[in-house]
């Protein structure tokens, strides 16, 4: 089970690194995009991947100031309706909820480009089930900026004509943006694994979505509602990371650095990557 409750004792494992890691605050947003002193980006921390400075946001998104790009992974829109079509009923508000959160983070960062790293839709037929209101919201968001759909294993091709085509990967600066990290020696930003971290506090074990990165690779958490997760110590994820990798656990309003020694492995069942 993924425990998404706010764990009161999270400060147990907050490190000095987290307390000082470029947390951003102050002054108002600028037309040219936020700066580190904007309150719009309070709670972010900076990660440097192959020289690219990236802001990791507690929403699960990444903002790349040099590119004025906002990056999200694994929206899994229409997952609820996909389950309903198979007789498993979940509240059918996941797409609207994910779009609400996406709209908020876009407003905060005001990017000129949004890049979705695949599995943006839960299945190829999602475009036929999405509500017209949600589709219109998405089209409005897309119409205001450059929008890149990277294809994923759940959405390998275009799912709706008005959304446009997807690409296999997107290259920007020193990085390749793609759905799944590949151990091919090229620095990348990716999603796919829905990374989570399990840590022990004094009160209990806590599992949260997380960012995980080393000097040449960053894996984003799933942004969408109803998404499961995979422990980053699972060999499928761990093999992609160098020894000194960093983990940023997602709290309600901030990120928490977790030292490697505090991470716990588990045998939880993998749900829907
Ligand atoms: Fe996914």
Q: Can you tell me the distance from the alpha carbon of 178 to that of 116, in angstroms, rounded to the nearest whole number?
A: 9
Kindly indicate the confidence band of residue 262, based on its pLDDT and cuts at 50, 70 and 90. Answer: very high
Q: Can you tell me the distance from the alpha carbon of 233 to that of 235, in angstroms, rounded to the nearest whole number?
A: 6
Nearest one of 48, 56, 123 to 85, comparing CA atoms:
123
Q: Is the pLDDT of residue 17 over 50?
A: no
Question: How close is the Cα of 203 to the center of ligand 1, in Å?
Answer: 31
Q: Can you tell me the distance from the alpha carbon of 167 to that of 155, in angstroms, rounded to the nearest whole number?
A: 11
Mean pLDDT of the chain: 85
Kindly indicate the confidence band of residue 145, based on its pLDDT and cuts at 50, 70 and 90. Answer: very high
Q: What would the pLDDT profile of 135-144 be if each residue is shown by its tens digit?
A: 999 999 999 8
Question: How close is the Cα of 25 to the center of ligand 1, in Å?
Answer: 32
Question: How close is the Cα of 82 to the center of ligand 1, in Å?
Answer: 14
Question: How close is the Cα of 73 to the center of ligand 1, in Å?
Answer: 8
Q: Can you tell me the distance from the alpha carbon of 235 to that of 238, in angstroms, rounded to the nearest whole number?
A: 5
The enclosing H or E element of 48 equals strand 45-49
Q: What would the pLDDT profile of 107-132 be if each residue is shown by its tens digit?
A: 999 999 999 999 999 998 998 899 99
Q: What would the pLDDT profile of 76-91 be if each residue is shown by its tens digit?
A: 999 988 877 777 777 7
Query: Contact at 8 Å (CB) between 255 and 208?
Result: no
pLDDT of residue 18: 39
Q: Among 12-26, 43-57, 74-88, name the one with the lowest average pLDDT.
A: 12-26
Domain residues of the chain, as ranges?
A: 8-264
Strand partners, 115: 71, 148
User: Residue 91: is it exposed, middle or buried by C-beta count within 10 angstroms (0-12/13-18/19+)?
Assistant: exposed
pLDDT of residue 28: 34
Question: How close is the Cα of 11 to the center of ligand 1, in Å?
Answer: 29
Q: Can you tell me the distance from the alpha carbon of 148 to that of 127, in angstroms, rounded to the nearest whole number?
A: 17
Q: Is the pLDDT of residue 24 over 70?
A: no
pTM to 2 decimals? 0.86
């Amino acid at each position: 089970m993924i425990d998404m409750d706010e764990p009161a004792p999270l400060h147990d494992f907050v490190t000095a690194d987290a307390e000082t890691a470029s947390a951003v605050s102050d002054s108002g947003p600028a037309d040219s995009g936020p700066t580190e002193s904007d309150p719009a980006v309070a709670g972010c921390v900076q990660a440097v991947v192959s020289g690219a400075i990236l802001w990791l946001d507690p929403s699960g998104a990444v903002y790349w100031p040099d590119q004025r790009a906002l990056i999200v992974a694994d929206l899994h829109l229409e997952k609820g309706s996909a389950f309903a079509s198979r007789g498993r009923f979940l509240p059918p508000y996941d797409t609207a909820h994910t779009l609400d959160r996406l709209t908020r983070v876009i407003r905060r960062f005001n990017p000129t480009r949004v890049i979705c790293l695949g599995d943006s839709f839960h299945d190829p037929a999602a475009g036929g089930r999405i509500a017209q209101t949600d589709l219109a919201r998405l089209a409005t968001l897309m119409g205001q900026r450059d929008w890149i759909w990277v294809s994923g294993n759940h959405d390998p091709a275009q799912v709706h004509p008005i959304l446009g085509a997807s690409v296999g990967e997107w290259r920007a600066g020193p990085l390749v943006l793609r759905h799944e990290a590949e151990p091919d020696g090229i620095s990348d930003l990716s999603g796919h694994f829905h990374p989570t971290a399990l840590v022990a506090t004094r009160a209990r074990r806590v599992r949260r979505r997380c960012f995980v990165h080393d000097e040449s690779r960053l894996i984003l958490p799933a942004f969408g509602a109803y998404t499961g997760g995979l422990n980053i110590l699972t060999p499928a994820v761990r093999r992609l990371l160098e020894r000194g990798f960093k983990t940023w656990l997602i709290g309600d309003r901030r990120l928490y650095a977790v030292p490697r020694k505090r991470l716990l492995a588990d045998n939880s069942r993998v749900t829907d990557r």
